[in-house]
Amino acid sequence: MSVETNVRFDKESMARFFQGEPEWVAQLREAGYADYQQLPLPKLEKTKLDKWNVDQFVPYKEEASVASIEELPQNVKDLLEENNPNVLVQKHSSVICTQFDAALKEQGVLFMPLTQAVREHSDLVQKYLFASGVEKHKVSALHQALWNGGVFVYVPKNVEVKQPLQIVVWGEDEEVALMPHVLIVADTNSQVTVVENVLGADYKQPVVYNSMVEVFAQGGAKVQYASVRSLAENVTDYTYRRAITENDARVEWLFGDMNNGNTVSNTTTILKGNGSSTDAKSVAIGTGKQKENFTVRVLHLGTHTDSNILSRGVMTEESTAIFNGITEMKKGAEKSNGEQAENLLMIGEGARGDANPILLIDEDDVMAGHAASVGPVSPLQVYYLMSRGIKRREAERLIINGFLAPVTDTLPLESMQKRLSAIIERKLS
């Protein structure tokens, strides 16, 4: 079945939006645009996208830079950790504010807008940009054609970035799409933590958030990526993340998906190198009539690889969510271990949720386990707390917070933990 497209851009307008980019970037965009016109929508488990907003948006809006963090609005400044010199803020299609520790620059660390990196570090970026193998479909092709702003992180061999690199993606204007691309390359035995906060206005018109994260962890490197997003009901969020690990490398994912609109999230880690590992923790709260589809997938290729997936969700009112956990062990991934758990709480008769733990095992000499649960708040737990003088509503809130704590308590910044806690309280109130 063909999918009708009606977007406010074409090849000529794209050339105006992104003029001055290297030829190889222009070719990537043109290929993405051609694929967008031909490829179908992604096929998701129990979620149909044919009536979702994919391409109805204003594709590009340039913004003026600000001289310092102090010129940012208070709601953006509140997301930033005090005394952290590493900050990058994107508004709509432009990175409007950056600051970076001079000592890290001297060590060869790069933390800059991706649009700048493709010009100033073209050979390095070209090796990795769109090289992680994200699935090809209409949504990812549209991102390849129109990504803007974005972030490039490169950490040289044996360098440890001790303070997190902070990213804020911020939207304000009606119908203007947000399409950031984050590219992280951690060289041998390096370490880095990247934290991302996403926020937008209380939009009255439809908006699309179409983002991608690519992580390349070389031998012995460790990358931690944490993201908290809270977008309005009229925002449709499509986010694709993919990491590739070499020998003894590790990638950790931490997500707080607090959107109020329809959401698709796909996070894939390829444990390519022997002894490499990954840990993925996520929480989500559904409200209203929103529909969400979350997939966390780990592909074990190397020997002695290790993975852990923990997903916690709370569905309220008439919200619906699908949580897919996929642990795949290919032939030759000997002595590997994979564990996963997907747990959902249903609050209200209209809430719906599916927890789907999936094991695909092609190797005998491995260990793998899974767990899943879907159900209401335990009446015995509520009764116990009420017997101690706690009112029912407060008892349920305490139980839910404890249910989410294994994820919320592991976020790397105190400001991020506070923001997530405040959003959870608001969504459950």
**336 close to 306: Cβ distance less than 8 angstroms:** yes
Average pLDDT over residues 205-222: 97
CA contacts within 13 A on the Cβ side of 121: 21
The residue-averaged pLDDT of 349-378 equals 95
What is the C-alpha to C-alpha distance for residues 370 and 311, in angstroms, rounded to an integer?
12
pLDDT band, very low/low/confident/very high, at 413 (cuts 50, 70, 90): confident
Q: In what order do the strands lie in the sheet with 165-170?
A: 94-99, 87-91, 165-170, 191-199, 222-230, 250-257, 277-286, 306-316, 336-347, 366-375
What value does the mean pLDDT of the chain take? 95
Q: What is the secondary structure of 200-224 as a DSSP string?
A: ----SS-EEEEEEEEEEE-TT-EEE
Structure tokens at 59: 């594709």
Q: pLDDT at residue 301 above 70?
A: yes
Amino acid at 89: V
Is there a contact between 251 and 278 (Cβ–Cβ < 8 Å)?
A: yes
Q: Provide the 10 A C-beta neighbour count for residue 105.
A: 11
In this prediction, residue 3 carries a pLDDT of 41
Task: Give tens-digit pLDDT for 266-292.
Answer: 999 999 999 999 999 999 999 999 999
- pTM as predicted: 0.96
Q: Residue 7: which pLDDT band, with cuts at 50, 70 and 90?
A: low
Percent of the chain with pLDDT over 90: 92
Q: Give residue 185's pLDDT.
A: 98
pLDDT band at 2 (very low <50, low <70, confident <90, very high): very low
| 25: confidence class by pLDDT, cuts 50, 70, 90 | very high
Instruction: Give dist(CA 333, CA 337) in Å, integer.
Output: 9
Mean pLDDT of 59-78: 94
Mean pLDDT of 131-156: 97
Q: At what angle do helices 414-428 and 392-408 cross, to 10 degrees?
A: 150
- The mean per-residue pLDDT over the stretch 236-257 comes to 98
Which of the four pLDDT bands, split at 50, 70 and 90, describes residue 6? very low
In whole angstroms, give the CA distance from residue 41 to residue 54.
9
User: Percent of the chain having pLDDT more than 70?
Assistant: 98
Indicate whether 78 pLDDT > 80: yes
Confidence of residue 45 (pLDDT cuts 50, 70, 90): confident
Contacts of 114 (CB under 8 A, 6+ apart): 125, 129, 147, 149, 150, 151, 152, 181, 182, 183
**H or E element, residue 148:** none
Q: How confident is the model at residue 4 (pLDDT cuts 50, 70, 90)?
A: very low
**Per residue in 375-407, pLDDT tens?**
999 999 999 999 999 999 899 889 999 999 999
